Amino acid sequence: TYTDVNAQLPALGLLILISVFCAVLFVINIRQQGWALPTVAIGLWVLVSLVAGEIYPWFIQSFQVSRKESAREAPFIERNIEATRQALGLSEVKTRQFDYQDSPPDSAITANAATVSNIRLLDPTVVTRTFRTLETQFNYFRFNDLDVDRYQLDGQRKQVLIAARELNGAGIPQDTWEAKHLIYTHGYGLALAPANAVTERGRPRFLVAGVPLRVDSQLAADLPVERPELYFGEGLDGADGNGYAIVGTTRREQSGNAETRYEGKGGVPIRGFFRRAAFALRFGDLEVLTSEFLTRDSRVLFKRDVATRIRQVAPYLRLDRDPYPVIVDGRIVYVVDGYTTSNSYPYAEHADTSQLDPGADLYGLPFNYLRNSVKATVDAYDGTVRLYLVDDLYGKRDPVIRAWASVFPDLYRPSSELPPELKEHLRYPEDMFRIQTTMWGRYHVSDAEGFYTQSDRWDVAQDPGNDINGNAPQPSSDGSGRSQRPRIEPYYLQMVLPDEERESFVLFRPFVPHSEDDSKQKLTSFMVGESDPSSFGRLVNYELSRTTSSGGAERNRSVDGPLIVNDNIISSTKNNVSQNFALLNTQGSRVDLGNMLIIPIDRGLLYVRPVYVRGNNENSVPELRKVVVVTGQRVEVGDTLAEALGKLFPTADVITEEGSAPGIDDDSGDDDVGGSGTTAVPSTDPAKLITEALRLFDEADAALKAGGAGSLAQYQEKLAEAQQALRQAADALGAPTPSADSPVDDDGSSTTSTSKASPTTTR
């Protein structure tokens, strides 16, 4: 600031000279041997420190700066804006005007068929529970989280949810050294499902699933998984750091119901007695030395967590909190974004990390320079770590990583050596995008006057939450005691961006005007980070167009933000939206709302929100039952996305992938797949509800007759669901049933799907 440069820095220079002078006096005092010189030195230093270091800067600030602060600080604000943008990767943001129209015409939906057909209906935060219940057939497997990616499937690029089936050490059936380190040594395969399609029961339509691994026969060539075993993954080191495995022993390893043997070159060979003794000492397990299952060819796998392995190789890198698996050349490879940081970039503001996950490497770290210069990969089978320099993909070289690369020239590979299959799956990193969007809310203002007044400051839009009651405000992170709502998390979308002709895979986040109490909820803009190879790393901010009022002052157009749209959805009585929620969210079942997706269509905005229903039991499976779509002030709900869009745009050709994607059928045929305890009753047709109730009564009787642990609890659970179905049937009596031209699926929901084998089309 003005005071820093014109008062504080000169004062510090003077204090340096005084300190040198005092040091000389102390040296002279070695011969003089008295108190006079030290007293003069200390007194002089204290006097100059108070006058020059405190009083003079205060005087300059109070009597020169404060009287005309905006003018005095203008050049320093401009310097800060430029430096902060450069340091945090915001200097190349492309700002485009979005000439918003209140509602896109029906023809725009038809023209944007690619975007509409790829609208994501499966929310990873909600259906993680579904994946875990349906696809972890054994307790010693688990899904840590779900990731959004895209794959070429049957000649078309599709948005998918993908999750690696990791080893769950806590679920190993025997608590013995042999079981933990020789038998149950690895995870197995992954689960993959289209993000825009569900089964008739509202569940993910898996293309890759099961143990042993099953791949949809039509897409086997697109999804080759030749090595499904995961010996390296997330969280495999254990809380005590002893999550090691010994492979190549005479004891067969377990992969579900099958036995297997490690054939890779990962880990350290045992060879002889001295190595066995060293490993026994390293892990504190005498069995390593005494076990008869180990041979000279056995190999010890340790430091198996992907982030730990990368940190061992490059401890100076900060890592993104979300590694994600990718199928590359028949193997499963984890991709991790690596960051370089510095807190010494001149004139740049320190980054706000308050919106990061507390477990992230960057959370709470003081830095004002950030680059995603490294893409790290870890092979899930043999643990091979590769580091690729990708700063050039963002258009600018990173001097920090280039310095490290010059120190370790054999460690890094250029981006040109990225395998083509891997390059297609690179994503704009989430943690960096969180920081950039948080800072952009303030630093999108380029002129010093506007920055000083903060009149056009933005915040990331408020998150409406997954519950129908919305997220409760939380205390502000600045310690002021104010309460603010959580902010919308960045989410990946595949869509055609405004004024573009091709589809893009982007990371998306919207903005609203800044307010301390969250009172301002109108949409001002949205930012995307592009992930496609041809435009990787490009940031584009779409600012909603402004208009001039009769008074001549500029103002934002009144465009509802996510929180307002969510309130409109919850309170809407038109087309039975609120009644649908009330009926579904009753005793015995619960409604979970998916991501509030904002989809630009032509010059309008389409809000899409999937609605899931599940039982109150914590192991119940959320199932997609309704889809709510909003444009302008119009709210519609349907059993499918096609039905909801058909109501909103009656003359449009609506093509979606619901029910059309090939997939692996659910073998079990009942609601207890993988241990699911309950399933919610979603139908509003009294006849269907009564039929469902009778089925549940039969299941309750069967559970009671079966006896054994938990049978009574299961009986009571099924009985409660059956009673709830009867209550819903009673409430629904008198309501119109689905029309004859809307066939009813076996789960009771009406659909406009013309065929399971072809995309859903509504006109």
| Tens digits of residue pLDDT in 595-610 | 999 999 988 999 999 9
Q: Which residue has the higher pLDDT, 667 or 589?
A: 589
Alpha carbon distance 699, 670 (integer Å): 11
- Average pLDDT of the segment spanning 79-83: 96
Contact between 265 and 382 (Cβ < 8 Å): yes
**pLDDT band per the 50, 70, 90 thresholds, residue 572:** confident
Has residue 308 got a pLDDT over 80?
Answer: yes
Q: How confident is the model at residue 69 (pLDDT cuts 50, 70, 90)?
A: confident
Q: Note the pLDDT tens digit of each residue in 182-236.
A: 999 999 999 999 999 999 889 999 999 999 999 998 888 899 999 999 999 998 8
pLDDT band at 115 (very low <50, low <70, confident <90, very high): confident
For residue range 490-523, what is the model confidence (pLDDT) as tens digits? 999 999 999 888 899 999 999 999 999 899 999 9
pLDDT over threshold 90, residue 458: yes
Where residue 202 falls (left for φ over 0; alpha for ψ -120 to 50; beta otherwise) is left
pLDDT band (50, 70, 90) for residue 576: low
pLDDT above 70 coverage of the chain, percent: 84
Predicted pLDDT of residue 669? 37
The candidate with the shortest Cα–Cα distance to 318, out of 345, 330, 336, is 336
pLDDT for the residue 761: 47
The predicted pLDDT at position 589 comes to 80
Output the pLDDT for position 740. 33
Residue among 266, 265, 270 nearest 291 (CA): 270
Asked if residue 536 has pLDDT above 60, the reply is yes
The mean pLDDT value for 515-540 works out to: 94
pLDDT tens digits, one per residue of 402-438:
999 999 999 999 999 999 999 999 999 999 999 999 9
In this prediction, residue 36 has a pLDDT band, given cuts at 50, 70 and 90, of: confident
Q: How would you class 293 by CB atoms within 10 Å of its CB: exposed for 0-12, middle for 13-18, buried for 19 or more?
A: middle
Residue 473 carries which DSSP code?
P
pLDDT, tens digit, 9 for 90 and up, residues 641-650: 999 999 999 8
- Is it the case that residue 682 has pLDDT exceeding 80? no
Kindly tell me if the per-residue pLDDT of 763 is higher than 80.
no
For residue 659, name the pLDDT band (cuts at 50, 70, 90): low
User: Would you say 197 and 205 are in contact if contact means Cβ atoms under 8 Å apart?
Assistant: yes
Q: Give residue 22's pLDDT band: very low, low, confident or very high (50, 70, 90).
A: confident
More confident residue, 714 or 156: 156
pLDDT at 754: 33
Is residue 531 within 8 Å of 497, Cβ to Cβ? no
* 286-302 average pLDDT score: 95
pLDDT at position 670 over 50 = no
- Tell me: pLDDT of 1 over 50: yes
CA distance 504 to 525: 18
d(Cα 673, Cα 650) in Å, to the nearest integer? 38
Mean pLDDT of the chain: 85
Angle at 532 (CA atoms; ends 529, 535), nearest 5 degrees? 70
Share of the chain above pLDDT 90, in %: 54
Q: What's the pLDDT at 605?
A: 93
The two structure tokens encoding residue 228:
């499904």
Inform me whether the pLDDT recorded for 673 exceeds 60.
no
**Please, which pLDDT band fits residue 756 given cuts at 50, 70 and 90?**
very low
Split at pLDDT 50, 70, 90, the class of 694 is: confident
Residues 6 or more apart in contact with residue 83 via CB below 8 angstroms = 345, 346, 347, 348, 349
Task: Name the burial class of residue 638, with classes exposed (0-12), middle (13-18) and buried (19+) by CB atoms within 10 angstroms of its CB.
Answer: buried
Taking Cα atoms as reference points, which of 603, 609, 369 lies closest to residue 488? 609
In this predicted structure, the answer to whether residue 747 has a pLDDT above a threshold of 70 is no
Give the mean model confidence (pLDDT) for residues 386-413. 95
Q: Which one is predicted more confidently, 132 or 685?
A: 132
Rounded to an integer, what distance in angstroms lies between the CA atom of residue 332 and that of residue 83? 40
Q: In the predicted model, is pLDDT for residue 340 greater than 90?
A: yes
Q: Which 8-state DSSP code applies to residue 200? A: T
- Is a pLDDT exceeding 60 seen at residue 178? yes
Task: For residue 575, give both structure tokens.
Answer: 């087309």
**Confidence at 680, pLDDT banded by 50, 70, 90:** very low
Q: Where are the beta strands (DSSP E) in 42-172?
A: 94-98, 141-143, 147-153, 156-167
Q: Report, as an integer, the average pLDDT of 112-129.
A: 90
Chain centroid, CA 752 distance in Å: 32
Strands of 295-362 (E only): list them: 299-301, 318-319, 324-328, 331-342
By C-alpha distance, which of 612, 520, 619, 503 is closest to 563?
Answer: 520
User: Among 38-42, 243-247, 593-597, 726-730, whose mean pLDDT is lowest?
Assistant: 726-730
pLDDT for residue 474 is more than 80: no
Q: What is the mean pLDDT of residues 627-637?
A: 91
Q: Given the DSSP bridges, would you call strands 324-328 and 299-301 parallel, antiparallel or unpaired?
A: unpaired
DSSP labels for 212-264?
Answer: TTEE-GGGTTTS--SB-EESSBSSTT-TTS---EEESSSSPEEETTEEE---S
pLDDT confidence of residue 752: 34
Q: What is the pTM of this model?
A: 0.83
The model's pLDDT over 342-383, given as tens digits with 9 standing for 90+, comes to 999 999 999 999 999 999 999 999 999 999 999 999 999 999
- What's the pLDDT band for 571 if we cut at 50, 70, 90? confident
Q: How confident is the model at residue 291 (pLDDT cuts 50, 70, 90)?
A: very high
User: What pLDDT does 242 receive?
Assistant: 76
